[in-house]
Amino acid sequence: MLNAINTKLLIAILAALAVISSAVLYQRHETAKAAAAAAKTAAILQQQQKDAEEQKARDDAFRKQVEQSRVHHNSAAAHEGKTWQTYIP
């Protein structure tokens, strides 16, 4: 009788250890998944920031080009009235 109780107690202890170890393994797995997701999110955020900086640089270059073009094209228009004042048909 005592042997049967000891066997049942040993089985119960082994079952409890199995539950604890499976919970620890599950926790490790979930932690690894969360770390991988965080790393992926950080990489995506870094790429988005890099893309935004590149777009800003392109926009600035385009604005400078537009400003230079505007200044260049408007410089002739500033003197146009003077040429028509001296024009004799």
Q: Which amino acid is at 12?
A: A
Q: Which two tokens stand for residue 70?
A: 């505007």
pLDDT at 87: 62
Q: pLDDT by residue (tens digit) across 27-62?
A: 999 999 999 999 999 999 999 999 999 999 999 999
SS3 call for 18 = helix
Instruction: Report DSSP state, residue 86.
Output: S
Q: What is the phi/psi pair of residue 53, to 5°?
A: -65, -40
Domain range list for the chain: 2-85
> Considering the entire predicted model, what is its pTM?
0.56
